[in-house]
Amino acid sequence: MLSDPQTTSKTGIQEGTRVILQKSEDYKSVIVKKDNVIRMGKVRFNLNGIIGKEFGTQLLIEDEKLVPIDKPTQDVQPMDVQACSSDRSNKDLTESDENQRIKQDEILKMKEAGISGEEIVDKLIENSQTFQNKTEFSQEKYIKKKKEKHVAVIRVLKPTTRLVFEMFYRNSPADIGYMRVDTFSQILAFANIIRGSHIGIIDTYKGLLVAAVLDQLGGTGAVVQMIPDNIFLKDCLKYYDLSEESLESHYHYGIEQLGTLESDYNKDDTMDQSNMATSTSSMKMDYETPCNLPTDDNQSANGTDTLKSESVESTESQPSKRKRKREEKKIKTPEELEADRQVRLKNSVKRKKAQKILLDKNLDALIISSKFHPTPLLMRMLEFINPSRPVVVYSQHIEPLLDCYMKLKGSGKGVNLHITETWYREYQVLPQRTHPVVRMSGTGGYLLTFTTITP
């Protein structure tokens, strides 16, 4: 589940709520905090204006503050464009700073004087020497460009899987393996994720697939994330503002520990608890005698006097003092020690549950999206999944999936094997201007899908 409805239904968005801010085509995820100033692009503003508003609200940035908009902004309408003949062309127009009579210094002065962005855009249109000679389409593009620059509008959105994915895809596509939204949706669809399912995931990127599956399960079932080299990748979880039930259903287990899975599970739990008790008692002893500093008893036993100890202390080097302060800061209170013990106990219980799910072959689906070669990971994980279960493997390149395909064909552990690449194009649909978007991705990665069987 995403944001708690109690924090937004009656009183609007409150402090501590996770939101996604949209400015034109830019997205940013933030936690609403009073007097918190953030930056999007070239503009800065604080988040006080968001508190109490509803999701979907549009706010205008003025003097680094968010103020309500009387009427929501819309795209440029034909009425905003000056009428011009259909045979007009831009071929005789040249781009030059001299085409605009209002200079940058004058624009800055207008902003300092409190003139709104809409009025600045109107003045720029009036003082453009080439605007009247532009075609209708060029006029629309000109107005849209100037509004994006001088009329900074923020839209407050509720975090969803699509928005979080869009934010990563636009800001840092490498963090999600250059996966495209159509590929992402096909992974979730083929994995057949339903409430109560147990899903195994190997995600060595930012954990976006893990977060999306947890969101779909809604606190039911379980997600067992297999992690390499004890690197727990869960950065995307914070962008979802998942409920406590969803986080409790998230388990992780090391891939390297699969070889000793059964022996580790059969170990006596009391051994772990005794080790935890021993470590706790030793930490308590450290708390009672925090550091090996000279005491009055030690001084008298060594025959040293107070004057000598003061002289030694005065000549103590500055780095050693800083080191001693760091050691003193590491000392924990009994309450903190007990909290640490409870965390370790909780992690031990969750580890046992993850081991049991794997040993019982209780996984309902397997998803792999890894920077590493997927073949050894896939063949190892097939031992812990029942027959007639869907498996999806994503790779940015097709060659690793071809290796997986041939390995599966030889082992006879999969049926209905397919390697696919979606032909996906985004189109601009406007009157007399319908065409594919010029800057589109060449590929969204490749998928290997199949159903497990017993050879």
The alpha-helical segments, DSSP class H, found in 289-333 are: 296-301, 306-314, 318-329
Examine the pLDDT at 45 and tell me if it is beyond 80. yes
Q: Is the dihedral of CA 411, 416, 421, 426 positive or negative?
A: negative
Provide the pLDDT for residue 284.
43
Provide the pLDDT for residue 78.
42
Q: Give the pLDDT band of residue 320 (cuts 50, 70, 90).
A: low
Q: Provide the pairing of β-strand 153-157 with 18-23.
A: antiparallel
Q: Give the pLDDT band of residue 127 (cuts 50, 70, 90).
A: confident
**What is the rounded average pLDDT of the residues 5-31?**
80
Provide the pLDDT for residue 91.
64
Provide the pLDDT for residue 85.
46
What whole-number distance in Å separates Cα of residue 343 and Cα of residue 347?
Answer: 6
Provide the pLDDT for residue 80.
45
- 394 close to 447: Cβ distance less than 8 angstroms: yes
Examine the pLDDT at 8 and tell me if it is beyond 90. no
DSSP secondary structure of 134-196:
S-HHHHHHHHHHHHHHHS-EEEEE---HHHHHHHHHHH-GGGGTT--HHHHHHHHHHTT--TT
Residues of the chain above pLDDT 70, percent: 78
Provide the pLDDT for residue 131.
80
Token look-up 């049991």 returns: 356
Q: Give the pLDDT band of residue 269 (cuts 50, 70, 90).
A: low
Segment 373-406, tens digit of pLDDT: 999 999 999 999 999 999 999 999 999 999 999 9
All domains of the chain, ordered by start, with CATH?
5-72 (3.10.330), 80-150 (no CATH), 161-259+350-452 (3.40.50.150)
Provide the pLDDT for residue 193.
94
Q: 164: phi > 0 → left, psi -120 to 50 → alpha, else beta; which?
A: alpha
**What is the rounded average pLDDT of the residues 419-439?**
86
Provide the pLDDT for residue 43.
84
What whole-number distance in Å separates Cα of residue 200 and Cα of residue 224?
Answer: 5
- 453 close to 386: Cβ distance less than 8 angstroms: no
Provide the whole-model pTM.
0.76
